[in-house]
Amino acid sequence: MFARPLLLLLLVLPLLQLAWVWRRTGRRVALPFDQGLRGSGWWLRALLGIGESLPALLLAVAVIVIALPQELAAPRQKRALTNIQFCVDISGSMTAQFGAGTRYDASMKAINEFLDYRDGDAFGLTFFGNHYLHWVPLTNDPSAFRCSVPFMRPENNVPGFGGTEIGRAVMACREVLVGRSEGDRMLILVTDGFSPDLSGGNEVDIAKKLKRDGIVLFAINIQESEARGEIVNLARLTGGEVFNPGDTAALEGVFKKIDGMSKAKLEQTAAELVDWFWPFALTGLCVLGLWGLMQLGLRYTPW
């Protein structure tokens, strides 16, 4: 098929040229020995006719190329997008020792490594304490994410971020994810504490809203004691899980487990029309080369 099929009407020009080459008779020159015995020379006339037909063939190839020939490409598999919002606790307790650094340092390092094997997804980052701050909007550019580490360190004692309000932060992240109509939705909560706004069954109400919106929550409890039951309910009721890493190696393993539990999906895309120039370009080059060789001596002369 062709993107510009009407241009194929121009093929009448090389056809007329071919008809003229093979049917014209006005190129003979009478010589004194024309009355003598001689062969018919039909093979030479045919060879010369072929040589004179080559420009017409080049013109035909050019017309086909400018008509933009196309073919259907094979259907491809496309990686389905997952929108991943990180909700990271920066309350005062996140300055506690964890491995070679603080809980905050270990969390952000593991998150940055997680970005490497989720290439193609969109990532957002929210810091929270008593309040929350959407620091990085959902983006496919991980460099913007990696540059955010130094600015909201818990050691900076940012006003309003000394305590912990998990429920409030989770609902704020829900609003961000709901705003993205394309792709799956995942929320990764990193905290070392508990907040009263999850008590009294509030965690169940929040989990129902998340599940209704197609948001799966994974919680990483980065402290020595086990996660509270409310956080466990919050995660598992959405189809997610709670992890209790005891050291930095275990923390890195947590993100690998999350990646395995929420594998990227592949979508079959429809076949698309793509340009199909190569057979015509190759034909044109061959015809042009042959014509060039014939110009070295195989042509009509008047003697």
Question: Could you tell me how far CA 205 lies from the centroid of its own chain?
Answer: 36
Single-letter code of the amino acid located at 95: T
Sign of CA dihedral 227, 230, 233, 238: negative
pLDDT digits (tens, 9 = 90+) for 97-120: 988 889 999 888 888 888 887 777
| Bridge partners of residue 266, in order along the sequence | 79
- CA distances (Å), 125 to each of 87, 112, 130, 154, 159, in order? 6, 11, 16, 15, 19
Residue 256 pLDDT greater than 90, yes or no: no
Sign of CA dihedral 243, 146, 153, 180: negative
Q: What was the pLDDT predicted at 303?
A: 46
pLDDT digits (tens, 9 = 90+) for 153-206: 888 877 888 888 999 999 999 999 998 888 889 999 999 888 889 998 999 999
Single-letter code of the amino acid located at 259: D
- CA distances (Å), 191 to each of 63, 220, 255, 283, in order? 67, 6, 14, 66
Q: How does the average pLDDT of the chain come out, rounded? A: 82
Helices and strands counted in the chain (H then E): 9, 12
Q: What was the pLDDT predicted at 28?
A: 58
Q: What was the pLDDT predicted at 23?
A: 81
Cα 139 from Cα 46, distance rounded (Å): 67
Domain ranges of the chain: 5-73+273-294, 78-267
CATH fold of the domain at 78-267: Rossmann fold (3.40.50)
pLDDT digits (tens, 9 = 90+) for 44-87: 677 777 878 888 888 899 999 898 888 877 666 555 678 999 99
